[in-house]
Homo-oligomer: A and B are copies of this chain.
Amino acid sequence: MTTQYTIVLIAYVSESRIAAEDDFWSRATAVIELTDAFPEEALLGLADFSHVEVLFLFHQVAEEKIVIANRHPRNNPDWPAVGVFAQRAKSRPNRLGSTICRIISVSDRRLTVAKLDAIDGTPVIDLKTRDDSVSASSTVTQPQWTHELMRSYWSSHSDK
């Protein structure tokens, strides 16, 4: 059985921030620009949605950093040691990131979004419209440690 699969990079992130840090993703906007392999019309109609789901690669994570056994998120002993698939840490198999972003504008091959937690140069592998019926917008529960972990995620340094 095949256990690998090859994907193409469909776009790249720019006008975001340069450094990979865990927190403080307060920058207003980022740009996602399709590669030349895709026509401008691949984004046609996207501006009618408020949000887009961005699938991307944590491309700066080194292979040897990927942990598949359980560990304390961010190595914080106050939080339970959990498996890699019970967290959203970037040091994960396949290094895939997924964030639902607010759409600011769509122009030519460029999509400008708010709240994208990906640095400049990040390769994007898919864009999907965010749909209520597959997003479990209600009845969600998650452990307390995840709220603590995300406390400074979308804030600026000065909010510290």
Query: Chain A interface (Cβ within 8 Å of chain B)?
Result: 2-10, 34-35, 37-39, 41-46, 48-53, 55, 57, 68-70, 80-88, 92-94, 96, 98-102, 115, 117, 123, 125-143, 146, 150, 153-154
- Asked whether A143 lies within 8 Å of B49 as measured between CB atoms, the reply is yes
Hey, which chain B residues are within 8 Å of A44, CB to CB? 70, 81-83, 86
Query: Given A3-B9, A85-B127, does the pair A117, B134 have CB atoms closer than 8 Å?
Result: yes
Query: Given A39-B69, A137-B140, does the pair A86, B49 have CB atoms closer than 8 Å?
Result: yes
Hey, which chain B residues are within 8 Å of A93, CB to CB? 8, 10, 38, 126
Please report the C-alpha to C-alpha distance between residue A65 and residue B93 in the assembled complex, in whole angstroms.
Answer: 29
